[in-house]
Amino acid sequence: MYDIGIIGGMGPKATSILFDKIVNFTDANCDQEHPSIIILDNSKIPDRTHYILTKQGSSPFDGIDEALDIFSSVLKPQGTIGMVCNTAHYFAKLIDKKAKLYGISFINMPEYTLKYIALSNLNKSCCVLCTQGTKTAKIYNQTNHDGLEILYPSDKQCEEVQSIIYQIKDTANVDYIKTALKLARLMEKIGDYTFILACTELSILDKSLLGQASIVDAMDILSMMLVNKSGYRIKMVDNRYDEKIIRTM
């Protein structure tokens, strides 16, 4: 039986990065001190943004629902699950409802990301860097956190962010350095905010190339919460985060 289940494939590269982050954020001295993880990398789940914007085609929830059914038989009692894609959290309420039926704990990535910022000393004006689907569905507005101002880039700027995201998905041709620098220039134009990397493709980029902006990577928060909620020790490998806050969330 497994400690953690990952609903992956959205996209495959981001899924592999999430696994790496969980390993890196775990304070372990040997293999056996790491959480046991099962990853369902279903890359055939339809595009989430296309579905949200058009309501056409098969629902991405069908593939997510299938993963939940599988997890119900392979996770430990009170096992923990996370989902790679921010935009797929459009279905968060449905996922949480079904997970609870199976006695599984669903880590809502946007919810915990906002909770972390609310408890931190970071600028409470947040700019969500995301797909058009996440912006249209206002996924980062589904959770209320007093004192936070949740903003999104303009439509034109969001198109630029989405273009960057889909360039990263094109793993055969992407230039990660050029793409990171392009995002850094856009962030500088947007202004002085706490920037939330709210698409897991953006988590693939080297943050050292993103300038001096205040950044919270939603995938980092998800990784640490999966480790923490599964009862394992966190190893703080990124000094941008406050370990005490993570442990108390």
What letters, b where the CB count within 10 A reaches 16 and e where it falls short, cover 17-44? Answer: bbbebbeebbeeeeeeebbebbbbbbee
Q: Are strands 105-106 and 37-41 parallel, antiparallel or unpaired?
A: unpaired
How confident is the model at residue 144, as a pLDDT?
73
pLDDT at 217: 98
pLDDT band at 155 (very low <50, low <70, confident <90, very high): very high
Among 126, 127, 158, 199, the active-site one is 199
53-56 long-range contacts, CB within 8 A, separation 24+: 53/132, 53/133, 53/136
Q: What is the pLDDT of residue 145?
A: 79
Q: Is 199 a catalytic residue?
A: yes
Residues 37-60: what's their mean pLDDT? 96
pLDDT band for position 143 (cuts 50, 70, 90): confident
Which pLDDT tens digit goes with each residue over 172-195? 889 999 999 999 999 999 999 999
Domains along the sequence of the chain with CATH: 2-108+219-248 (3.40.50.1860), 111-218 (3.40.50.1860)
> Active-site residue 130, yes or no?
no
**What's the whole-model pTM score?**
0.96
Average pLDDT over residues 31-40: 98
Q: Which pLDDT belongs to residue 32?
A: 98
In this prediction, what percent of the chain has a pLDDT beyond 90? 94
Active-site residue among 30, 85, 130, 158? 85
pLDDT at 172: 83
Kindly report the average pLDDT of the chain as a whole number: 96
| pLDDT, tens digit (0-9, with 9 covering 90-100), for 65-124 | 999 999 999 999 999 999 999 999 999 999 999 999 999 999 999 999 999 999 999 999
Using an 8 Å Cβ cutoff, are 141 and 90 in contact?
Answer: no
